[in-house]
Structure 1
Amino acid sequence: MNSLEQVPILDVDRISVFYGQFQAVKEVTFDVKPGEIFGLLGPNGAGKTSTLSAIEGLIKPATGKISVAGYDNVSQSLYARANMGVQLQATSFQPELTIADILRLFAGIYGVRLSKEEVQQKLEEIKLEDAAEKKFGQLSGGQQQRVSLLISTIHNPVLVLLDEPTTGLDPQSRRQLWERIEAIREQGHGVLLTTHSMEEAEAVCDRIAIIDHGRIIAIDTPDRLIELHRNDPEVISASRKGKITLEDVFIGLTGRAVRS
């Protein structure tokens, strides 16, 4: 059976999120299947962060349900979080700790025991085999992101949430992180990725949802989204290269105005 036909690892069903009287998320629905990289795209203030916060269990939706690996993330929150790994855009690990110390510390939090040999093996997986005794603050931005992604998956979660993981990275570091993310998918995990890079979304995502003003306004594969909207007047007018791209579709659907 194709992985995209399997039972979802993440199921977001008509959730709404309010901050006082303001509704940030409006009956959002989507799912992430095993072995799928799913992109959640939107302008600033579109509702991405609020949706992610609800999935992580940091805020409770006013309506709707979210399940992770079949566990309700409100009534069975401990089980849902145990099946989830999260990498934020900015890392906040103690800069004076060595990489080996950080790995063992967070592995212990998740109840995972790592021997010295296992620590070394995991560092080899992310091409940092010589960095065990380096302090986190001594690593480059790309190296720090690789360590952060390793820690978010150290307990082998079925769902991995990545919030703009390649922001600020050079092309080589970005490609290395893409390869790592794709390796996670190949292991059968589900990945939910937010990004402002249309190149990144088109390169690594199997499906994409575009959210704007709190609502999902389009959801499909990158190629299919381009094909469906290539003749839309707003998309055509957004095109600067003659060939319709995912960025053209995104601008055409969400508008040209800069969001604060």
Structure 2
Amino acid sequence: MYALEINGLGKVYEKGNRALNDVSLRVPQGSFFALLGPNGAGKSTMINILADIVRPSEGRVTLLGHDLFSERNWCKRRMGVVPQEIAFDPFFTPHEVLRFTAGLFGCRPDEAWLDELLERLELTRHAGKKARQLSGGMRRRLLVAQALVHRPELVILDEPTAGVDVELRRRLWDFMRELNAGGTTILLTTHYLDEAEELCDHVAIIDRGQLLTAQPMRTLMREIASSWLWLNYGRPVTLTDEDQVALAGFEPRGSEEGVCLKLGQSQDGQSTFHQAYQAAVARFGPPMDAGVRREDLEDVFLRLTGHGSQAQGSGVKS
């Protein structure tokens, strides 16, 4: 069974502004799923639809086999959402906020679980403070605790680590990994693509309201990520038309320190490293240094969305 099935989801705002266009994807139950896209891609609209804040223009969504729109109460009790915006009553303490939140989900407060949430999210020392006295990072961690207070089967994390320092982020992700290992499905949106690549086993990328890809992370990186040979000559290299023709099979790109060539596989299944290296040496001479670098998720993301100058030249990074 899928934790979440989205079929033909679309949203048109006023004046015909289409935020989502026929988006369909499946989030496997128990997965750690990354939903990625540049600003304005439609991620927030999708999250707001799932949270029942925005009504879709078309499409269907099911949570654990139940219709999200006709069975709202059933679905809300099994879903926790960590929004980007920080909003709660400033005059209650974190512990009081969690007790009230449990009641909103129709749950009797589980004091042991509330204490564990405060401890794991490093809020125990601040549990007696009013929410208005908490720092921005503490308030964001309190939002995470609120989303988990009813032990949901699906947790949606919308930029949960914005404003959270590096060490706390690591401990937060350790906690999320434990929840995921225990069977909780996690849907994550983030601009920290290195975190998404490390944490998530599935990924979907959207841009301008369109779904570009949705598949297991390993499959995406195996099929789309490329390897590049970079050669350092200690000087900028501007490729001539003759260079482009001679190295055409390697998609050559000049850089501030040298040149990089895209690697592939020869007919016998071997890497084209040696052919690329020899071709570059024939054009530019022996390099000062050379190495191979495989694209990461950021490179793939930039190439698929076309956002940023690195979309095609990221292979020169070392």
TM range, smaller chain: 0.7 to 0.9
Q: Give the residue type in structure 2 aligned to 1:52.
A: I
* Mapped pair 1:42 → 2:93: no
| Superimposed CA distance per residue, residues 144-170 of structure 1 (whole angstroms, 9 cap, x where no aligned partner) | 333211111111111111111011221
Question: Unaligned regions of 5+ residues in structure 1, if any?
Answer: 1-6
Q: Is the 8 A contact 1:230 1:236 kept in 2?
A: no
Question: Unaligned regions of 5+ residues in structure 2, if any?
Answer: 229-250, 261-291, 310-318
Per the TM alignment, residue 94 of structure 1 is displaced from its structure 2 partner at its CA by 2.4
Higher relative contact order (CA 8 A, sep 6+): 1
Partner of 1:247: 298
Partner of 2:93: 98
Q: Is the 8 A contact 2:12 2:20 kept in 1?
A: yes
After superposition, the Cα gap between the structure-2 partners of 1:119 and 1:76, relative to the gap in structure 1 and judged at 3 Å, is closer
* Mapped pair 1:199 → 2:250: no
After superposition, the Cα gap between the structure-2 partners of 1:203 and 1:139, relative to the gap in structure 1 and judged at 3 Å, is farther
After superposition, the Cα gap between the structure-2 partners of 1:33 and 1:200, relative to the gap in structure 1 and judged at 3 Å, is same
- What is the SS of the residue equivalent to 1:9? strand
The 1-side partners of 2:165 and 2:215 are apart by 28
The 2-side partners of 1:236 and 1:100 are apart by 58
After superposition, the Cα gap between the structure-2 partners of 1:108 and 1:232, relative to the gap in structure 1 and judged at 3 Å, is same
The 1-side partners of 2:113 and 2:43 are apart by 36
After superposition, the Cα gap between the structure-2 partners of 1:200 and 1:236, relative to the gap in structure 1 and judged at 3 Å, is farther
* Mapped pair 1:129 → 2:124: yes
* Mapped pair 1:17 → 2:11: yes
| Identity, % of aligned positions | 35
Q: Give the residue type in structure 1 aligned to 2:222.
A: E
- What is the SS of the residue equivalent to 1:120? helix
Q: Give the residue type in structure 2 aligned to 1:14.
A: G
The 2-side partners of 1:121 and 1:174 are apart by 17
Q: Give the residue type in structure 2 aligned to 1:16.
A: G
Partner of 1:175: 170
Q: TM-score, normalised by structure 1?
A: 0.86
Partner of 1:3: none
The 2-side partners of 1:182 and 1:219 are apart by 21
> Residues 110-259 of structure 1 correspond to what in structure 2 (within 5 A)?
110-114=105-109, 119-231=114-226, 242-257=293-308
RMSD over equivalenced CA pairs, Å? 2.6
Q: Give the residue type in structure 1 aligned to 2:10.
A: S
The 2-side partners of 1:99 and 1:256 are apart by 40
Q: Is the 8 A contact 2:227 2:294 kept in 1?
A: no
Q: Is the 8 A contact 2:203 2:217 kept in 1?
A: yes
Q: How many residues align?
A: 250
Q: Give the residue type in structure 2 aligned to 1:44.
A: N
Q: Is the 8 A contact 2:204 2:212 kept in 1?
A: yes
- Return the index of the structure with the highest Cα Rg: 2
- What is the SS of the residue equivalent to 2:124? coil
Q: Is the 8 A contact 1:164 1:193 kept in 2?
A: yes
- What is the SS of the residue equivalent to 1:106? helix
The match for 1:85 among 72, 76, 80 is 80
Q: Is the 8 A contact 1:85 1:159 kept in 2?
A: yes
Partner of 1:53: 48
Per the TM alignment, residue 257 of structure 1 is displaced from its structure 2 partner at its CA by 4.6
| Superimposed CA distance per residue, residues 17-40 of structure 1 (whole angstroms, 9 cap, x where no aligned partner) | 111322221111112222211111
The 1-side partners of 2:202 and 2:11 are apart by 24
